[in-house]
Homo-oligomer: A and B are copies of this chain.
Amino acid sequence: MTIYKANILFTKQNDYFEVIPNGFVAVRDGIVQGVYSELPADLRYAEVIDYGDRLLIPAMNDLHVHASQYHNQGIAMDMELLPWLENYTFPEEIKYADTNYAKRMYSRFVHDLWRFGTMRTVAFATIHEESTRLLMQLFEKAGMGAFVGKVDMNRNCPAELTEDTNEAMRANEAIIDSYRQANRSHSALVNPIVTPRFIPSCTPDMLRACGDLARKYQLPIQSHLSENKNEIKWVQELEPESKFYGDAYYRYSLFGQTPTIMAHCVYSSPEEIELMSRQKVLVAHCPTSNLNVSSGMAPVRTLLNAGVRVGLGSDISAGHDLSIFRVMVYAIQVSKMHYRQHQESCPFLTLSEAFYLATKSAGSFFGKVGSFEQGYEFDALLIDDSNLNHGDYSLPQRLERFVYLGDDRNIQLRFCRGKQIAEPEIIQ
């Protein structure tokens, strides 16, 4: 048993922070045993690690990020979507046929996730089996949780990124097989996820194969949904029998038949929202990406009111910022704009709601992750906000200032599943 003492803040529910000044969290075998204002009798003689006046909060989870676009982060932001894909995204992904290149870039990527306090990640790799395995190994070595997807795609993309469906499924099964062997005895931190890029990139036979694969191995799924209006029209042409975009995935068993993340959902129709709610699809809301590539503003309050689960994604490199704290700020701001434009009252996301999306709601994809309630895996960040704390701020205000003004310098320690995570190596 290890007991940590600090100012504890987390969101059991979305509408307020649990705040325990100078509180205690007891952790055994990586699992939270309880959170206390005063230590109970049976723990009174346990060893306490005292972090003084610092803040202890759940770690961040990133539900949507293209690991293979890390080199392109923060460039070409002045381009429109299509030339951006053709001139930047696809040429970059082609480079990952080279595992040395992949190692250099992926090691930076994992390092920087660590830097910004993201302990669980759902990532797109590329079509390349070996590079995908490399990324998984880097997460394992770091001790950080991840679902990593070998990307499947076979149309509307350069020849170098176009795969034969059978070959793609063979590669997927090879990766899956490695991880099934390793995971028999315990729940691994790193796992594969079925990743059809999105409908315009996959022929019906590839989509069907992906759905079959997910069902056969009971694996989760990630893809993109309703990011912009032209894309939605295109999908309707490609899948004329589908009732709406999400229905096209659903018909291929790629929409909640196993746990599913869909990124964006900016223009989801009421029917699509209803199906997401029913199928328990988890939306990866990516506000920075939606702004940078001019997609629009996702109706997060509408999704939440409809019972849809929502988490946050950095969506590098359409998104520019790997910090989920920054993404949280954008989620609040975008919700303010979206609802200001559409109605008189403005039911924007509050800080506790955005925090809940990034922690407990997103964390649910990884199991019991994202809260300090009993039974949750202890994923945590120790925040030293002394450079921001020059006044008489309350604990929630200190957290708010850290979220709005702070950066990686304020993150002093990082824990994933109870283990303190050391700085991962950058491979040159």
Contacts and interface: CB of A to CB of B under 8 A. Distances in A.
Q: How large is the interface on A (under 10, 10 to 19, 20 to 34, 35 or more residues)?
A: 35 or more
Contact of A401 (B74, B288, B329, B393): B74
A332 B75 contact: no
Contact of A350 (B78, B108, B291, B351): B78
A390 B426 CA distance: 11
B337 A291 contact: yes
Contacts of A401: 73-75
Given A320-B329, A348-B294, A74 B405 contact: yes
Contacts of A295: 340
Contact of A294 (B288, B336, B407): B336
A95 B333 CA distance: 29
Interface string A277-309: 000000000001001101111000000000000
B75 A294 contact: no
A274 interface: no
Contacts of A404: 73-74, 77, 320-321
Nearest to A336: B294
A391 interface: yes
Contacts of A391: 71
Contacts of A336: 291-292, 294
A185 interface: no
A346 B294 contact: yes
A287 to B, nearest CB: 9
A358 to B, nearest CB: 16
Contacts of A393: 75
Contacts of A407: 407
A187 interface: no
8 contacts: A74-B388, A76-B400, A77-B332, A78-B351, A288-B333, A291-B337, A320-B405, A321-B404
Given A73-B401, A291-B334, A321-B404, 14 more contacts: A71-B390, A73-B404, A73-B405, A74-B388, A74-B403, A77-B404, A78-B350, A78-B351, A292-B336, A294-B337, A294-B340, A294-B346, A320-B329, A320-B404
Kindly list the 5 A-B residue pairs having the minimum CB-CB distance in the complex, ordered from nearest.
A74-B404, A291-B333, A74-B401, A294-B336, A320-B404
